[in-house]
Amino acid sequence: MSKVRHTPPKATKSHSSNLTQIQSEPDINNAVTMSDYVNTNRNKRFRPGNSPGSAPALVSLDLEYEQDPVISKCLTEQTVLINRLLADMGEIKSQNYEIKASNIEIRKSNERMEESMSFINKQFEDMKREVEDLRKERLLQKHYIESLEKKILDLQHKSRSSGIEIRNIPQEHTETTSSLIKTVSKICGTVGVSVQESSIRDVYRLPGKPSSSTTPRPIIAEFSSVQTKQTLMTAIRDYNKGKGKDKKLNTASIGLSGDPKPVYIAEQLPASTKRLFYQAREFAKNNRYKFCWISNSNIFIRKMEGDKQVLIHSEKCLLDLEPQNTI
């Protein structure tokens, strides 16, 4: 078979004008050197001081510091100072821990103390209320006791309302109730009061130690009526009124043997009233009260003739009168 050869087409004018012919240089080195587009002065990248390339310079600098004795001494002192500061900081931390622990203990102790104070305060308030209740109860009991004492005193006065007390009568060796009745009858006859022996309900000498010749024990005589007693007491005051000490009622005037001795007769009184009567007499003497007497178990004092009589029913009455007389 025969070979057919075609003729290549002719190049057009447009293609030929746009194409540029490039020559290839077989020697690449010469091409690089000859090329205008290649920059032979390249800029190097900056390398920091801690890069491996700079290590020899640092080593040499440290060696230089170590070789300098001043710098070495400063480094040593700084090292010692830093170690000391670290130790102090450790100690401060330890102290802070201890302070925190101590604060916790103090806080707990304060809480316990507050609880104790609250408990004590509650106990104190309870005790205060109890004391106040006891004070009120004591005040009520005091008033109640005073009322009972007054009632007892009234009963004593009532039981003694018809009795008299005769003092300074010598005691006989063979003294009997009959002899005492005769003595009372003699007293009544001396002052001008007629009293039958049957009107004397009871008569006796108060018990106690054996009486001596100077201080005989008093005699108590109880009459059948208060009126009889009042009549006798009035007659005795009239008999003694205006007479001297030797002429007043005495043992000789009532027919008793022996040296004459004054005879004192008063209403039969309880011990408390008797003590108050004594205090009233002392008060009247010290404050120039002219009169002090007792009637129906009531104590009276009077400053002067015509003045108002004052009833004394307690020691407080005398205390209230004291400032008025000292002004």
Q: In what order do the strands lie in the sheet with 298-302?
A: 291-295, 298-302, 310-312
Say what the pLDDT of residue 37 is: 45
Pick the closest to residue 224 from 256, 257, 202 (CA basis).
Answer: 202
Among 114, 131, 159, the domain boundary falls at 159
Pick the closest to residue 75 from 58, 62, 88 (CA basis).
Answer: 62
Say what the pLDDT of residue 62 is: 53
Among 133, 159, 185, the domain boundary falls at 159
Say what the pLDDT of residue 134 is: 94
Average confidence score pLDDT of the chain: 78
- pLDDT exceeds 50 at position 185: yes
- pLDDT exceeds 80 at position 285: yes
Say what the pLDDT of residue 327 is: 43
> Quick check: is 313 in a domain?
yes
Q: Are 214 and 296 in the same domain?
A: no
Could you tell me the maximum CA-CA distance found in the chain, to the nearest angstrom? 219
Neighbours of 200 (CB within 10 A): 19
Among 109, 135, 159, the domain boundary falls at 159
Structural domain harbouring 172: 160-268
- pLDDT exceeds 70 at position 44: no
Q: Return the higher-pLDDT residue of 193 and 1.
A: 193
> Assign residue 288 a region: left if phi > 0, alpha if psi is -120 to 50, beta otherwise?
left
CA distance 263 to 167: 6
CA distance 127 to 109: 26
Bridge partners of 302? 291
Three-class secondary structure of residue 26 per DSSP: coil
Convert the pLDDT of each residue in 245-284 to its tens digit. Answer: 888 899 888 888 888 889 999 888 888 888 999 999 999 9
Q: What percent of the chain has pLDDT over 70?
A: 76
Average pLDDT estimate for 123-136: 93
Looking at residue 240, what DSSP letter applies? H
pTM of the full structure:
0.53
Say what the pLDDT of residue 98 is: 81
Q: Are 274 and 261 in the same domain?
A: no
Q: How many domains does the chain have?
A: 3
Average pLDDT estimate for 134-140: 94
